[in-house]
Amino acid sequence: MLRFDLALQPLRALNSALHCLPPGQNDVHIEVLNPRGSHAVAVGIDKPVRVEVMGPVGYYCAGMNDGGTVIVRGSAGPGVAENMMSGTVVVEGDASQYAGATGRGGLLVIKGNAASRCGISMKGINIVVHGSIGHMSAFMGQSGHLVVLGDAGDALGDSIYEAKIFVRGRVKSLGADCIEKPMRAEHLETIADLLAKADVTGVRPEEFRRYGSARRLYNFDIDNADAY
């Protein structure tokens, strides 16, 4: 196991080491000490490495992750796992705004709460939040799944395309063109699979409700002008 202490070493030492791993090296386990809210911790991983960050991080932790596993043993600032391509990111605490924004793949698990704009413009990422999410989450979400065990804030799924949202608690309000939809067997299977991958136990897929696009805003229609 490699160990980086950000109280003693610059962040670039960690991120360069991650970027310089030769192809095929997939047994690397890195521990990061004293992150103290640093920005851009473990961004741009493109190998199947495992990084454990022992404390809270700042902006953009694990951004662009492609195949790595990043565990944050603390809370994360804005934009955690932004534009993830593949792999897994787990935040043991809370996540600030736009967690998983624009993500194209992989799994983001937030064990606490996520703030506003969680999964904004998601494009294939799967996000499981053990707690609640803030307003404008999954705004313009194009594909992927957002599973929320707690509540959702205002304007959930505003202007959503084909991302699928599953919320177990209360939804404060739905955004433009987002509606509740019937839960089918395939959705229950998807939820069960994601809950298992996110270490959630004691929660049944049937407890969730599904939300998605009414598909009225895909193309401009003058009769919908009020909805924009």
Partner 1 sequence: MCGIVGLFLKNATWEPHLGCLLAEMLVTMTERGPDSAGIAIYSAAGGRAKVTVQSSDPLRDFETLGEDLALAGIEAGIRIKSSHAVIEAATALDRLHDALAVVRPSVRVMSAGYSLEIFKDTGLPASVVARFDVRAMGGTHGIGHTRMATESAVTTLGAHPFSTGPDQCLVHNGSLSNHNNLRRALARKGMRFETDNDSEVAAAYLSARMAAGDDLGDALAGALDDLDGFFTFVVGTRTGFGVLRDPIACKPAVMAETDDFVAFGSEYRALARLPGIQSARVWEPEPATVYFWDRQNAA
Decide whether 69 or 75 has the Cβ nearer to partner 1: 75
Query: CB within 8 A of 80, min separation 6: which ones?
Result: 57, 60, 61, 62, 63, 72, 89, 91, 95, 96, 99, 100, 108, 110
Decide whether 89 or 194 has the Cβ nearer to partner 1: 89
Decide whether 63 or 78 has the Cβ nearer to partner 1: 78
Check residue 40 and report its DSSP letter: S
Q: What is the dihedral of CA 143, 145, 151, 156, to 10 degrees?
A: 10
Q: How far is the CB of 9 from partner 1 (least distance, A)?
A: 16
Q: How far is the CB of 111 from partner 1 (least distance, A)?
A: 14
* 3-class state of residue 98 by DSSP: coil
Longest CA–CA span in the chain (Å) reads 61
Q: How far is the CB of 222 from partner 1 (least distance, A)?
A: 28
Decide whether 47 or 111 has the Cβ nearer to partner 1: 111
Compute the C-alpha angle 165/120/97, nearest 5°.
110
Decide whether 54 or 203 has the Cβ nearer to partner 1: 54
Residues binding partner 1 (CB under 8 A): 36-38, 56, 58-59, 75, 77-78, 93-94, 96-97, 115-116, 134-135
Q: How far is the CB of 168 from partner 1 (least distance, A)?
A: 20
Q: CA end-to-end span of the chain, whole Å?
A: 52
Q: How far is the CB of 80 from partner 1 (least distance, A)?
A: 12
